[in-house]
Amino acid sequence: MQSYMDDFIDPEGWMKFNESSDVTTLYYVEFWDFGPGSNTSGRVKWPGYHNLNNPNDVKDFIVEKFINGNEWLPKFDIPYSSGLVR
């Protein structure tokens, strides 16, 4: 989400972990990424891949909610944004 994607990113964007990976059970989301590798027109066509554009659709994936980042990230002096940056 909201990540810079450089030009070394494969246009398909994602690959299986191994040959037995079941791509019907995954849930991958891209949201407002930017940079030369962020074009999603060539991404995989898996049922679990989603290119979302509505901030309401990703609100459960922000650092604050998804991993309770506000509780533990400050202890490690890791720079982050607890919500969406724009």
Partner residues linked to 34 by β-bridges: 4
Is the whole-model pTM more than 0.85? no
Length of the chain: 86
Same-domain check for residues 40 and 80: no
CA of 14: how far to CAs of 5, 27, 30, 51, in Å? 13, 12, 11, 12
∠ Cα 17 19 20 (to 5°): 90
Output the six-digit token pair for 84. Answer: 């969406």
Same-domain check for residues 21 and 38: yes
Same-domain check for residues 49 and 81: no
Note whether 72 and 42 are within 8 A (CB). no
Same-domain check for residues 47 and 6: yes
Same-domain check for residues 37 and 66: no
Q: What is the domain extent for residue 15?
A: 1-53
pLDDT at 78: 85
Same-domain check for residues 7 and 46: yes
Domain count, the chain: 2
pLDDT at 85: 87
- Where the chain has pLDDT below 50, the residues are none
